[in-house]
Structure 1
């Protein structure tokens, strides 16, 4: 089954290619953002981060396995066929799966126990700024003034959202502070999610070469399968070591299991496909800009489903983060070369 036929079955074909791409980019971003809402609802039902991550990846594993198989099957019909992986490439995939999906997911869900869904989404949106900073530190890449302005605006926005959480700490982290004082919980949660964003930024930096050789679908399928195995193993080990105090699921109501299935399908696997299809139809730049609806949808869903407080600093801070990423993205574009002079005209000075 081709990606185009799947789009037709989703009844988006009447929108045309550009309309399909816009709809898929928006739906994918909203679905990804819903992960935080689902996790916090499960926390209220007695689940912990290890159980949420373990259930999510265990249920998503068959679908990622199918994605990996389908990507190879599709490549077999192309010319040239799928590249045979070397031992070095397998290790690269394992490393990318560890940083981009296992470690990033675990730190993210641990942090969500202590901070609001809106702050979590704002911090995760710092990924492009972290890639830029890491590129400057490791690769010696020069940071342009426009890029620096975008970074400053984005981090200033996160600071506003963070202070919003800080002032509402008693409401944000009371549900699962695990005995921590409210403000200490905000600090811990912010650091954990910041670590998640950094881990995913490392994945983005390391995936550039291999994604060109394997294709995005094949890489995501393989790396996600590896991460699923790690998450499930972590879940089992933590449950055994803590004698069931962490990672337990037997006491969870059926609603938590239903939410976990929703998390695996609608908030994990489906948005991966939606965003990749959107990139095919729109290009990465347009798709990423449409995806900025994600943080805004998080604010609305968190207020509606979780009763998280909404205030001026949250709205202004989120807007500043999005504006900062737009400024950074535009400043990072390569300069457009000047048109060549017409025949017989003097060269430009």
Structure 2
């Protein structure tokens, strides 16, 4: 009993720290953009600095059920690494050039609703009436958060929102499609393989657009790249996996609502981003809708 309580308590701590660290990524990206670095270079720094750690994890031991894995499974890993970490990250970094960090996190937070819809479209999994209502409420909440951003006067806000939406959609597609592969490879092994694939895609993308020579940036850009790689990518991925193991996915999903809140708080202190009362109401509506969808799904 004592061991279960200790495991649950540590799981809660891991969940909170993991979610907050993941959420800090948007703030780090916005800070880096003040040094006039482009999204592709910044994404390259994030992935390349994290790569050695994922290589170590990937090749330190064999996949969980290596005998059940065939070459087609590895091709699927390449595909899901492409859409789940390369495309999702690319859209995210592009979108953050146009909208606030707090708004970015609110849009990304709706990915569980996309998982439910995609599961219905692809696998014909049923959607309850409560889920449908919750999904509609969630998207109304997102619209409300943009209400005071004057998108009609500044088209860049709409563009940024669309890019972040595609980031959430590609990540949701990754979650829906890769679910059957994770039990074969193991969570950390599969994640490491997917991150390696993503890094290769980023390097190829960068080399085709900018060539093989890196531009010189202030040292702060490299520090921020390392911080994103370690504190907003690597460490939280371990913490979240550990939290899910101790708490279970349904319980962990309840801590996801900390993401938008923590991003908004961090953005207020480090980016001087202000959020209106209407946007706070919209955020609460989104959190409530996503939480209801997640609980129904669980």
Q: TM-score, normalised by structure 2?
A: 0.93
Q: Which runs of structure 2 are paired with 1:64-213 in the superposition (5 Å)?
A: 64-72=54-62, 75=64, 82-83=66-67, 85-164=69-148, 166-167=149-150, 183-213=154-184
**Inter-partner Cα distance in structure 1 for 2:277 and 2:62:** 49
- Kindly provide the CA deviation profile for residues 314-333 of structure 1, in whole angstroms up to 9, marking residues without a partner as x: 21111111100111122234
CA distance 1:134–1:56, change in 2 (3 Å): same
Q: Does 1:236 align with 2:212?
A: no
Structure 1 residues 209-218 or 260-269, which shifts more? 209-218
Aligned to 1:273: 238
Instruction: Work out the number of aligned pairs and report it.
Output: 295
Distance in 2 (CA, whole Å) between partners of 1:254 and 1:89 is 41
CA distance in 1, matches of 2:247, 2:37: 39
Contact 1:107 1:193 in 2 (8 A): yes
Distance, in Å, in 2 between the alignment partners of 1:71 and 1:128 is 31
Aligned residue number for residue 37 of structure 2: 47
1:19 and 2:16 correspond: no
The Cα offsets for residues 43-67 of structure 1, whole Å up to 9 and x where unpaired, read as 0111110011011101111111112
Task: Name the structure where helix makes up a greater proportion of residues.
Answer: 2
- The higher radius of gyration belongs to 1
Within 2, Cα distance between the matches of 1:278 and 1:192? 30
Aligned-pair Cα RMSD in Å: 2.0
Of 166, 186, 202, 1:215 maps to: 186
- Aligned-residue offset at 1:84: 6.0
2:225 to 260, 271, 285: 260
Deviation at 1:158, TM superposition (A): 0.9
1:298 aligned to 2:282?
no
Partners of 2:11 and 2:243 within 8 A in 1 = yes
Deviations 1:191-210 (A, max 9, x none): 11111111111101111111
Specify every segment of 5 or more residues in structure 1 that has no aligned partner in the other structure, as ranges.
Answer: 1-12, 76-80, 170-180, 334-349
Contact kept? 2:44, 2:203, Cα under 8 Å:
yes
Displacement of 1:182 after TM fit? Answer: 6.3
Structure 2 residue runs without a partner (length 5+): none
Q: 1:28 aligned to 2:24?
A: no
Distance 1:194 1:94 in 2: 23
